Amino acid sequence: MSTIIRVNHLSKQFKDTKAVDDLSFTVNEGDVYGFLGQNGAGKSTTIRMLLSLVAPSGGEINIFEKKLSTHRSEILRSVGAVIEKPDLYKYLSAYDNLSIFARMSGVKITRQLLMKQLQMVGLAERSGSKVRTFSQGMKQRLGIAVALVHDPALIILDEPTNGLDPQGIADMRNLILNLSNKMGKTVLISSHLLSEIELIANRMIIIHKGKKMVEGNVADLLDPAHSLIQIETHNNDAAREKIKQTKWNSFLQADKQLRLMMNKEDVPQLINDLVAMQVQLLSVNSSHSLENYFLSLTTLPGNVEPFAN
């Protein structure tokens, strides 16, 4: 399984606002990767940097194991995206919109290919209609068709269910699952709803105020038995290096503080191992479950000190 996206210490500063702060994460081939955070957390800015719409202030983005800054065109040929709203040319038909963006992606298009794509999103019968006559759900589906028309290996969807009715949300969910399960695509999907990510993603990251809070497998992160264990030592950096050499590495969270997402039952064993490695412990604390934690982020914006009980 190869790495599709590798983001290292990414940051973006807008004048006096740090929108993304030292963010690192990886998306593997075949993942449906949830990008979770409340509004203004930095999700859209990160996605815009992944698509080279916004230049990073620092850090590095590698997609398909190539640097985005030096292989932009080559990378974007294999990426499809819906960024926020699926805004298209309202004065053109669905078919014309699809045709334009397919040609821009460097695809040799045929009418058959375009109609097949429109059929996939249920718009074949409205192919000749102007986009200005479409509902939000139809525009969203056309946006998906535009993102998929050149058969990309990576699909980036920024809040794709925004403005959709319950049926539209369910359809979108099924479409994303199909893309992953049947077509083997890698999908990065952003949302501010944990419940949405929970249903479709296999891995996820939560960001808050531009910083990574937690990253891991959805099943593990949402397991009520799992807690976020925060450790304080005399030298956290040295302790982190020692933990990386052990079985606890897979639970280690890649942020500045020393935190592990793990089963609470295993904490005594962890402490024993740390003591055996001569790590000088000052404190070990257990936080809320992920669900409660995320709820605290989304209901008390600005007042949360994540995982610091």
Question: Residue numbers of the site for other proteins (CB under 8 A)?
Answer: 14, 48, 51-55, 72-77, 79, 81, 83-85, 87-92, 96, 100-101, 103-106, 146
Residue 90 vs 264, nearer CB to other proteins: 90
| Nearest one of 146, 140, 88 to 117, comparing CA atoms | 146
Residue 98 vs 218, nearer CB to other proteins: 98
Residue 156 vs 290, nearer CB to other proteins: 156
- The neighbouring-strand residues paired with 75 are none
Residue 98 vs 274, nearer CB to other proteins: 98
Note whether 252 and 241 are within 8 A (CB).
no
Residue 2 vs 73, nearer CB to other proteins: 73
From the number of C-beta atoms within 10 Å of its C-beta (0-12, 13-18, 19+), residue 282 rates as exposed
Q: How far is the CB of 201 from other proteins (least distance, A)?
A: 22
Q: How far is the CB of 273 from other proteins (least distance, A)?
A: 46
Strands 154-158 and 79-82: parallel
Q: How far is the CB of 104 from other proteins (least distance, A)?
A: 4
Q: How far is the CB of 174 from other proteins (least distance, A)?
A: 24
Rounded Cα distance between 26 and 216, Å, is 10
| CA dihedral over 211, 215, 219, 223, signed as positive or negative | negative
From the number of C-beta atoms within 10 Å of its C-beta (0-12, 13-18, 19+), residue 113 rates as middle
Residue 158 vs 215, nearer CB to other proteins: 158
Q: How far is the CB of 85 from other proteins (least distance, A)?
A: 6
Residue 154 vs 258, nearer CB to other proteins: 154
Q: How far is the CB of 202 from other proteins (least distance, A)?
A: 25
Rounded Cα distance between 276 and 273, Å, is 5
Note whether 134 and 166 are within 8 A (CB).
no
Note whether 156 and 67 are within 8 A (CB).
no
Q: How far is the CB of 141 from other proteins (least distance, A)?
A: 15
